[in-house]
Structure 1
Amino acid sequence: MIDLAFGESAAGALKAAQHQGLITNQPHTVLALSLYAEIGEIAPLAASLELRQTALASLFADFPGVAEAIWQGNLATITHLETASVTAEPVRVWVRAGNPMEVCGLYFLCHWLKDSPCLFSVVWVPEWIERQDRLVEVHGVGEIAPTELPALLKYETPLEPTQRSLYAELWEKLGRENAPLRVVLNGSVTSVPADFYDFALRAHLPAAEEVSVAQVIGRVLNQIAGANDRWLYLRLQSMIRSGALSEVAAPSADSPYSGRICRAE
């Protein structure tokens, strides 16, 4: 069996749970497919993987070597999944339904392997989980601790061929729209313009007050499930270039989010 997550943090938690024998006693592999499929162009669909490499390079331009490391990990995962497609190895996918990166990853997977004989199942991670006798909101699988994963296996459901076909068709629809950004609105993945999150960024930029980039991004992430910190950073940079924001203090070389900004006069 393959346990598949759409991000390094989620895969790391799954690997830790596997090492501790928490999620299965059967031999299985944990893989990460970090496509960030909610961001950037995805058409033509035949070139989706190449376009993902381009998107990663743009997202992580301020972190030398990161995009290449993620991409090499993706290539290893793709090779493993291609082999599984031939051998019909079962694939269990972990997805938080409100997280656009994870849902788009699932849609991509269903389109890419739509003719595969693999048996797919999905662990639909709920919006709220119990933690230390209280309910905690979860924005993505990567926020879940290894010890919390076993309790979520009850949410595993088979991914029937009709569902796989539907998700593949939804990915094709998103490809035809080919928007710069995809979000989950009212339970559905929706194509939106690049400035979709700008209203939230502005809301956390008080008038006549400077604030760190990290603070603004952190506040928006707490407010909006599934927002991507790298995308928010790029939007802030775009707002600086357009003159809507001013950079009060440049970031340090090793910490792009350490800069300070304010609304332009």
Structure 2
Amino acid sequence: MIEIVFSESAGGSLKIAQHNGEGTYPGGCVGVILSHADGSAPTRAELKAAQREAEASARAAWEKAVPLGGNAADVFAFHLALSVGDIGDGGMGAGREAALGALFACYPAEGEAAARELLERSRRDWSTVRARMARGEQARVWYSQQPDEMCGLCWFMAQLRDCPGAPEPALMELPRWESDGETLVQKNGWADVAPEEWHRYLTLQRETPPPFVRACANRWRELTQENAPLRAVVNGRLIGVPENFYDPLILREIAAEEEVFQEARLIGRILGKHPLGIGDGWIALRLEALIESGALEAVSPAPKKGPRYRRTLKKA
């Protein structure tokens, strides 16, 4: 079975899930990051306690995991961020490289190279997937209501037009919410699924009727012709929207800040409060636009290493 996901994180988690729980627990070091709300540094004892807790949690997760099966070579992660930027060339051309480059611009040291590598890998992977499907192998597409994954689903169905005779893919849609009877859980996409959880979703697999394939492919064709600067899922439908579509949420959180605030903390709060499928790169781009418009002012320089948004901003 060819496994198709639409983010590097989901692909990595799925590969681990294939053999997670097999044999004896391998152990290994578990890293932790600990911070206090007041900015003070954690003590050595607090760090050790947090690490012990994380290691115990990792072992418990391993012991309850059910291996998904399969091989890492069957997993293909098309991390194309198709909800953002130019898709007029179909999704893997120069426009996509420019869009990825813009999103990764907040990582100045490695962003451009990472964008180029992701696109080149996606092109190679698609050639491999197309050849395997042409030989009769079935693909399984893992998607959700997250905009990149919805775009990925439509994009993949459109690519099947180049694969005459390929089996219809199987579909795995992430539930919009889950509950254990006491707690409600809403995952933002397959990247939020831990390795020990993947096997629980196998019962949701369904075959894809040909009309669904055509509908997704036609929707992708319409979106590429429209070529809006952004795509979002609104009332369950994937539509093109203006680049300032999420700005009201961003401005609302800026209004709640002090006059001078940390950009990284603002981005983290937006992502935590509004899990709409947008990433730190897009929010950083919109904040840069607000700086250029004069609504915000950068009062500290961006660091030479790490994300550019680790700086201080001021309301103008």
Deviation for aligned residue 1:238:
1.0
Separation in structure 1 between the aligned mates of residue 72 and residue 81 of structure 2, nearest angstrom:
28
Q: Alignment length, in residue pairs?
A: 262
For the 8 Å contact 1:213–1:259, the answer to whether it is kept is yes
Aligned-pair identity in percent equals 31
- The aligned residue for residue 84 of structure 2 is 39
Residues in 1 aligned to 2:92 and 2:139: alpha-carbon distance in whole angstroms: 21
SS of the residue corresponding to residue 309 of structure 2 reads: helix
What are the residue-to-residue correspondences of 1:12-31 with 2, within 5 Å?
12-20=12-20, 22-24=67-69, 29-31=74-76
How do 1:101-112 and structure 2 match up within 5 A? 101-112=148-159
2:283 to 222, 225, 232: 232
1:114, distance to aligned residue in structure 2 (A): 2.6
How far did residue 128 of structure 1 move? 2.1
Separation in structure 1 between the aligned mates of residue 162 and residue 104 of structure 2, nearest angstrom: 33
- Alpha carbons 1:89, 1:118 under 8 Å: kept: yes
* Max Rg structure: 2
Distance 2:86 2:250 in 1: 23
1:187 and 1:124 map into 2 onto residues whose CA distance is 13
Shift in alpha-carbon separation, 1:135–1:121, aligned structure 2, 3 A: same
In structure 1, the residue matched to 2:146 is 99
Offset at residue 262 of structure 1 (A): 2.6
1:71 aligns with 2:104: no
Cα 1:131/1:57, change in 2 over 3 Å: farther
Once residues 117 and 259 of structure 2 are traced to their aligned partners in structure 1, the CA distance between those partners, rounded to angstroms, is 38
Query: 1:118 and 1:13 mapped to 2: Cα distance?
Result: 26
The one-letter amino acid of 1:41's match is: D
CA displacement at 1:69 relative to structure 2: 2.8
Note closer, same or farther for the CA distance 1:42–1:108 as it changes in structure 2 (3 Å cut).
same
Distance 1:27 1:232 in 2: 32
For 1:13 and 1:73, the matched residues in 2 are separated by 18
Answering whether residue 304 of structure 2 is matched by residue 257 of structure 1, we say no
TM normalised by structure 1 equals 0.91
For 1:125-144, list aligned pairs within 5 A.
Answer: 125-130=174-179, 134-144=183-193
CA contact 1:89–1:119 (8 Å) conserved in 2: no
Deviations 1:181-205 (A, max 9, x none): 0000100011110111111111111
For residue 160 of structure 1, the aligned residue among 184, 205, 209 is: 209
Change (3 A) 1:132 1:254: farther
SS in structure 2 opposite 1:114? helix
Q: Distance in 2 between matches of 1:185 and 1:237?
A: 25
Match of 2:297 in 1: 246
Unpaired stretches in structure 2, ≥5 consecutive residues: 23-66
1:147 is the counterpart of 2:196:
yes
CA deviation vs aligned residue, 1:137-179 (integer Å, no higher than 9, x gap): 1001001101011111122111221101000011111112110
The CA deviation string for residues 226-252 of structure 1, in whole angstroms up to 9 with x for no partner, is 112211111111110111111122221
TM-score w.r.t. structure 2 length?
0.77
Unaligned runs of 5+ in 1: none
Task: Verify the 8 A CA contact 1:114 1:164 in the aligned structure 2.
Answer: no
